[in-house]
Amino acid sequence: MASNPKWREGDFGVRPVRIANCSGYHGDPPSEMYKQAKLGDVDFITGDYLAEVNIANNAEAFAQGKHPGYEETAWEGIRQAIDVIAEKKIKVAINGGALNPQGLARKVAELVNSKGYDMRVAYVSGDDILPQLGRDTMPQGPDESLPHLDAANPHINLLPEQRNSRRVIESHIRSYPPMLTSVRILSNAPRSNIINQIIK
């Protein structure tokens, strides 16, 4: 299947776009990102790598410095697909940053720079407020719930793409669908509560 001959940013809301998904959980093979980029006529690639089980399994190891915090399959998928993504000007929005979106974003930015591509990489953070709460204040049972919070991970609205980022590395925003990031680009919805960091 032929790819789009060019990226038509001025046509948002005018033409149909194709959004491909390369991951539904952390066990999906990283080669799927490459396949979507290479074989599909797509404008966006999204990926959801997270579930409570793998976040929980990796959290303790990450805190001890024994795990990078991000999903390795997310990094490997980007590494395999980066050349095609750059060639076709595909935008990518994934939550593979998991516990360490900054770490994955910096690694991707290093890859982009090493290849000389003119691409921006963004990561989203701010939903982990455990350092602000402190471990001693976290509830240990149903009688100790925090009255002013439903959880220690608040909702985040984000639009890093307003700065033309081509890579969005999201954190552990539960199952916040990266596809919604793509949809918001096309809808020109009001921008609010923008939390983003641009690398490069």
Q: Could you tell me if residue 5 is inside a domain?
A: no
Domain holding 165, by residue range, is 16-135+148-199
| Contact by Cβ (8 Å): 123, 104 | yes
Q: Tell which phi-psi region holds residue 188, choosing left (phi > 0), alpha (psi between -120 and 50) or beta.
A: left
Integer Cα distance of 157 and 194 in angstroms: 6
- One-letter-per-residue 3-state SS of 101-160: HHHHHHHHHHHHHHHCCCCCEEECCCCCCHHHHCHHHCCCCHHHCCCCCCCCCCCCCCCH
CA angle 82, 84, 87 (to 5 degrees): 110
Tell me phi and psi for residue 58, to 5 degrees. -90, -15
**Better-predicted residue by pLDDT, 148 or 176:** 148
Q: Could you tell me if residue 11 is inside a domain?
A: no
Q: Could you tell me if residue 142 is inside a domain?
A: no
Give the mean pLDDT of 84-113.
92
Give the mean pLDDT of 92-113.
92
In the chain, how many domains are there?
A: 1
Percentage, residues of the chain above pLDDT 90 = 32
Q: Could you tell me if residue 10 is inside a domain?
A: no
Give the mean pLDDT of 47-66.
86
Give the mean pLDDT of 57-61.
86
pLDDT of 6 higher than 70: no
Residue 130: which of 25, 193, 199, 60 has the closest Cα? 60
| Contact by Cβ (8 Å): 91, 166 | yes
Q: Could you tell me if residue 101 is inside a domain?
A: yes
Q: Could you tell me if residue 33 is inside a domain?
A: yes
Q: Could you tell me if residue 130 is inside a domain?
A: yes
- pLDDT at residue 192 in the model: 37
Q: Could you tell me if residue 156 is inside a domain?
A: yes
pTM reported for the whole predicted model? 0.71
